[in-house]
Amino acid sequence: MGAAAERAEEEHEEWAGVTPDAARRLVGAAVEAFAERGYHATTTRDIAGRAGMSPAALYIHYKTKEELLYRISGIGHEKALRIMGAAAGAEGSATERLRDAVRTFARWHAEHHTTARVIQYELQALGPEHYTEIAGLRRRTDRLLRQIIQDGADSGEFRADDVPGTTLAVLSLCVDVARWFTADGPRTPDEVGTLYADLVLRMVGAPDPGRSTGASH
Amino acid sequence: MGAAAERAEEEHEEWAGVTPDAARRLVGAAVEAFAERGYHATTTRDIAGRAGMSPAALYIHYKTKEELLYRISGIGHEKALRIMGAAAGAEGSATERLRDAVRTFARWHAEHHTTARVIQYELQALGPEHYTEIAGLRRRTDRLLRQIIQDGADSGEFRADDVPGTTLAVLSLCVDVARWFTADGPRTPDEVGTLYADLVLRMVGAPDPGRSTGASH
DNA sequence: CGCGCCGCTGAGCAAGCGCTTAGGGTCCGG
DNA sequence: CCGGACCCTAAGCGCTTGCTCAGCGGCGCG
């Protein structure tokens, strides 16, 4: 399966793993609503309404409104972790892996900016034990990226005096895409990914000639 | 007045311009609460309680809870704009101005991370006309930074193929400091500012030798 | 001392919240 | 034809929310 087909499949139904159908419609509706107004400003009546059901129907599939957020956060962060893992586990130099990591990670945050906004900015609304569980996924993502940067620093490809600080900055940069990105903006998710990969490679002082050609059309 | 004295004065009373005393205590309490739990999850009873008053006292000084957020946003974004303006208006090369801009802007977002979190991440809770007014301040800040980067690109100091995109990334990086920074973390606001200035200068391909010496103490 | 004013409180209202419960369709195996 | 499993809805419960209002205490002024 080619990269394009793979991406199309991922995109087609982001919540394909959620069954039955009504439960899936509810997650979709909740993501939309949470991203637009925030978790606390969203009512269960609003979510149910968007999914085309009565308010009570929500509670057949989810115990509480918080559980909905928890499911969304879990699925989303697992996806983010898999994206980072694919880039980190690939073969190639630290430069190549970092470029791929930033490009795909930033692109995902743009493409799925509603989901990403929810899972990155509404975390504090989770209950304590759900929060720590999700925070664990985040830490694993963080460690994967840090390892790439550490590898590049060790091999001399990168000039990174402060590896944890640089990791933090790169992650912060990618995650924040979810905050400002809109589908009607001037940039496509692909362009954001490419731009960010270029910027980050320069940020870590990677050798320059490998830069891609930028926006192409 | 030296830089240290100036910073100490700014810090001493962030809301010094707000009178009378009770109104100032309310803004302080509101910023604290909004930053911790978010605007919608914060109750007027909580704000009043933190300020040591009854819930009704809030409405003597502010018409609505939203007006409190509006005042906070206004003061905060004006401060952010002044910081960026000071760096942009200073004399020196684009490199020097960009370093100064990123250093002070990121440092402010770390030092006043509670305020910054509120003004940067709770904007959507503002009413429509208050929102557009605050968005205007943000656009002015954005333009100041873009001009610095444009100057550097024009003079050949920077290699920035995509000036608006680079501006967006730099701003995003600095703003997002407010999300992850905590006072008990491993980095001081000063260190964050210095680190970020170094990272950004490399990101725009500025000549390297000007890098500062990093953490100093 | 007396009076008005300003800042504040105690009590509470209407509305909206998350969530529950009793019951009604619709389908399938027998 | 029946009976129950499965989804769903209408109605509404208890509670909290943003906000209001009548009234009170202490201060400055005459």
Q: State pLDDT tens for residues A158-201.
A: 999 999 999 999 999 999 999 999 999 999 999 999 999 999 99
Report CA torsion sign: B196, B70, B118, B15: positive
B11 within some domain: no
pLDDT for res B11: 56
Q: What number is the average pLDDT over the span A83-107?
A: 97
A83 within some domain: yes
A9 within some domain: no
Lowest mean pLDDT: which of A3-7, A123-127, A129-133? A3-7
B15 within some domain: no
Spatial distance from the CA of A44 to the C1' of D4 (Å): 30
Residue A24: band (very low, low, confident or very high) from pLDDT cuts 50, 70, 90: very high
A35 within some domain: no
pLDDT for res A215: 43
Which residue in chain A is spatially nearest to B215 when comparing CA positions?
Answer: A162
**Residue range of the domain that includes B175:** 65-210
Which residues have a Cβ under 8 Å from the Cβ of B83 and sit 6 or more positions away? Answer: B104, B105, B108
- Is residue A132 over pLDDT 70? yes
Which residue in chain B is spatially nearest to A202 when comparing CA positions?
Answer: B203
Which residue in chain B is spatially nearest to A169 when comparing CA positions?
Answer: B173
- Is residue A35 over pLDDT 60? yes
Bigger pLDDT: A208 vs B116: B116
Find the chain A residues whose C-beta atoms sit closer than 8 A to any C-beta of B: 37-38, 40-41, 121, 124-125, 159, 161-162, 164-166, 168-169, 172-173, 175-177, 179-180, 186-187, 195-196, 199-200, 202-205, 214-215
Which residue among B41, B172, B195 places its CB closest to the CB of A165? B195
HEC per residue, chain A:
CCHHHHHHHHHHCCCCCCCCHHHHHHHHHHHHHHHHHCCCCCCHHHHHHHCCCCHHHHHHHCCCHHHHHHHHHHHHHHHHHHHHHHHHHCCCCHHHHHHHHHHHHHHHHHHCHHHHHHHHHCHHHCCHHHHHHHHHHHHHHHHHHHHHHHHHHHHCCCCCCCHHHHHHHHHHHHHCHHHHCCCCCCCCHHHHHHHHHHHHHHHCCCCHHHCCCCCCC
pLDDT for res B217: 43
Measured in whole angstroms, the distance separating CA A94 from the mean position of its chain's CA atoms is 21
Q: How many folded domains does chain B comprise?
A: 1
Residue stretches of chain B with pLDDT short of 50: 1, 210-217
pLDDT for res B136: 98
| Residue B203 to residue A202, Cβ atoms within 8 A | yes
Residue A210: band (very low, low, confident or very high) from pLDDT cuts 50, 70, 90: very low
pLDDT for res A214: 43
A72 within some domain: yes
- At A52, the amino acid letter reads G
pLDDT for res A66: 97
Bigger pLDDT: A3 vs A109: A109
Residue A3: band (very low, low, confident or very high) from pLDDT cuts 50, 70, 90: low
B136 within some domain: yes
A216 within some domain: no
The Cα B15–Cα B3 span in angstroms is 20
Q: What is the CATH number of the domain that holds B84?
A: 1.10.357.10
pLDDT for res A7: 58
Identify protein residues whose C-beta is within 7 angstroms of any atom in strand C.
A 42-45, 55-56, 59, 63-66; B 20, 22, 48, 52-57, 60-61
Question: Which percentage of chain A shows pLDDT scores above 90?
Answer: 84
Bigger pLDDT: B70 vs A6: B70
Bigger pLDDT: A183 vs A14: A183
Spatial distance from the CA of B12 to the C1' of C14 (Å): 42
